[in-house]
Amino acid sequence: MSSTAAPRIAIIGGGVSGLTAAYRLRGLLGPGAQLTVFEQADRLGGKLDTAELAGQPFDLGAEAFLARRPEALALIGELGMTDQLAHPAKAAPRLRAGGRTVGLPARTAMGVPADPDTAAEVLSPVGAERVHKEPLLPGLNWDRSDITVGELLRARMGGEVVERLVDPLLGGVYAGRADQLSLRATMPALAKALDDGARSLTEAARRTLPTSPNPAPVFGTLTGGLSTLIRALSRASGVQIRLGQPVRQLGRLAEGWRVSYGAELFPESGEFDGVVLAVPAPSARRLLTDVSLRAAGLLAGVDLASMAVVGVTLAGDAPLPSASGVLIAEKERRRDGTPFATKAFTFSSRKWDHVGARGVFIRGSIGRYGETAMLQREDSELVAMVLRDLAELTDIDFTPTHTVVRRWGGGLPQYHLNHLSTVDSLEREIGTLPRLEMAGAALHGVGIPACIATATAAAERLAADVRDAR
């Protein structure tokens, strides 16, 4: 690499992680840097996908970000988008569990009760008694290693807490199940409370709750849809965008990387000083196979869950429930004995004031880890399933005015047992590859702030390496 030539960087993946990395690299390397984003799809954004529904913007991927982490709010501020920021209205979420639809219990840590009384309405008398007795059990044999969420909770609080409280919440975030998900990776605050000496799960959950009487909003979004963040990042980073150009192979050079992309039979190639991998785990694994078998092998342990989102609009006078949405426990059944197909409803018009001003909008989410057959059905069947489940919950047969379906094959990584130690080993292995970095949801969190954090860290490391090599 010439010491005077402008650095050439390839960013593989045009989702929020890749575009944040590009934006940060522009700031770190200056206007002369040649930044190219390769995206195999025909659009940017990845899991941020704002579609048009009934003539209005409507998010069919991620619909919000965690506002109690600083990364997304800070980035929105940098991009001059604070005036588009919105937080949820006062409508509260509900939960369908134990054959009833009730308010989602307050004072829980991702469903783990910090106050046994608040969970009683969701549980049977026997289940509620288990939760009440948990603080009186012998102290936790906590050795600071990892454990699945389900194993720990079943031992301390019983299976009902897992199935009626925790699983519906984890299913909404990860499309996964507590019995298969790592405590340290999916509930880090709870794990830290245990590390710090909490004597029971109840106490650990209590320690994670906000102490302020007026805590900051938990979630945020953008009024024009989260794809507006993608467009702003693309503009601000000044990158060259290569849509519909899957990267086929990475090859190491004496001072940089060869990136092969495009058609499978006759790919093009380019030489770059550095690379950021911001793609799902299977794609990253494939690209790393030729340069680090160890890194590729570590990525093989990151499974993915698929899901679908159904967007529905109703007539303006439709009597939508006064709730922000409903989470549905996996074992719940309709009156005819068949299972619910939908795992969660978001009553978007109730949850977000800016959406409510545009009409009556609903999101139905279908699919958990391992459930692939259901997602093979036709769009019309998925819409019908969502409407049947909605009628079951509300006792009203709604007639939609508009519908849209978005399928997310391999949309969410599953943080299985010892995920964080796997990621630590992966990042150390990636660190042995000069001027190659990784970012994205496969690493330290599936939410937008976590992806922004990994992308920022990757850009900072890569920029430092590129400068050192000049």
Q: Check whether residue 408 and residue 429 sit in a common domain.
A: no
Do 297 and 419 have their domain in common? yes
Average pLDDT of adjacent 10-residue blocks, the chain of 470 residues: 79 99 98 98 98 96 96 98 97 96 94 94 96 92 90 96 97 95 97 94 96 87 98 98 97 95 93 98 97 97 96 91 96 96 97 95 96 90 97 94 96 96 98 97 97 99 89
> Domain check: are 383 and 359 in the same one?
yes
Asked if residue 424 is part of any domain, the answer here is yes
Domain final residue, candidates 413, 428, 455: 413
- What is residue 4's predicted lDDT score, i.e. its pLDDT? 66
The pairs formed by 456-460 with CB atoms below 8 angstroms and a separation of 24 or more are: 456/20, 456/21, 456/24, 456/71, 458/21, 458/276, 458/278, 459/20, 459/21, 459/22, 459/24, 459/25, 459/28, 459/276, 460/24, 460/28
Which are the contacts of 161, defined by CB distance < 8 A and separation ≥ 6? Answer: 111, 112, 113, 119, 123, 127, 130, 131, 153
- The answer on 358 and 321 residing in a single domain is yes
Task: For residues 265 and 179, state if they share a domain.
Answer: no
Domain annotation covers residue 216: no
Domain boundary among 395, 413, 431: 413
Q: At a CB cut-off of 8 Å and minimum separation 6, what does 369 contact? A: 174, 175, 176, 177, 180, 303, 305, 414
Per-position b or e across 64-97, b if 16+ CB within 10 A of its CB: bbbbebebbbebbeebebeebbbebeebebbbbb
Q: Are residues 408 and 430 in the same domain?
A: no
Same structural domain, 118 and 199:
yes
- 233 and 355 inside one domain: no
* Residue 156 falls inside a structural domain: yes
Say if residue 87 is in the same domain as residue 122.
no
How far is 344 from 329, CA to CA, in rounded Å?
A: 9
Q: What is the CATH number of the domain that holds 250?
A: 3.50.50.60
Residue 451 lies inside a defined structural domain of this protein:
yes
Looking at the structure of the chain, the number of domains it has is 3
Shared domain check, 408 and 316 = yes
Residue 401 in contact with residue 290, Cβ under 8 Å?
Answer: no
CATH for 179: 1.10.3110.10
8-state DSSP, 170: H
Which is it for the CA torsion 259, 263, 267, 268, positive or negative? negative
Is residue 57 situated within a structural domain? no
Q: Per the domain annotation, does 97 fall within a domain?
A: no
191 is a domain residue = yes
What is the three-class DSSP state of 75? Answer: helix
* Residue (of 100, 103, 135, 99) closest to 119 by Cα position: 103
* The domain boundary residue, chosen from 396, 413, 430: 413
pLDDT at site 407: 96
* Strands in 382-435 per DSSP E: 400-413
Q: Show the domain range for 361.
A: 64-69+78-91+304-413
pLDDT of residue 418: 97
> Which helix (DSSP H) or strand (DSSP E) does residue 252 occupy?
strand 247-253
CATH classification of the domain holding 369: 3.90.660.20
Q: Are 417 and 147 in contact (CB under 8 A)?
A: yes
Q: What torsion, rounded to 10 degrees, do the Cα atoms 154, 156, 158, 160 define? A: -90
Determine, yes or no, domain membership for 323: yes
Kindly state the tokens that stand for 235: 């503009």
Q: Are residues 237 and 367 in the same domain?
A: no
Q: What is the pLDDT of residue 373?
A: 85
Answer yes or no: do 258 and 389 share one domain: no
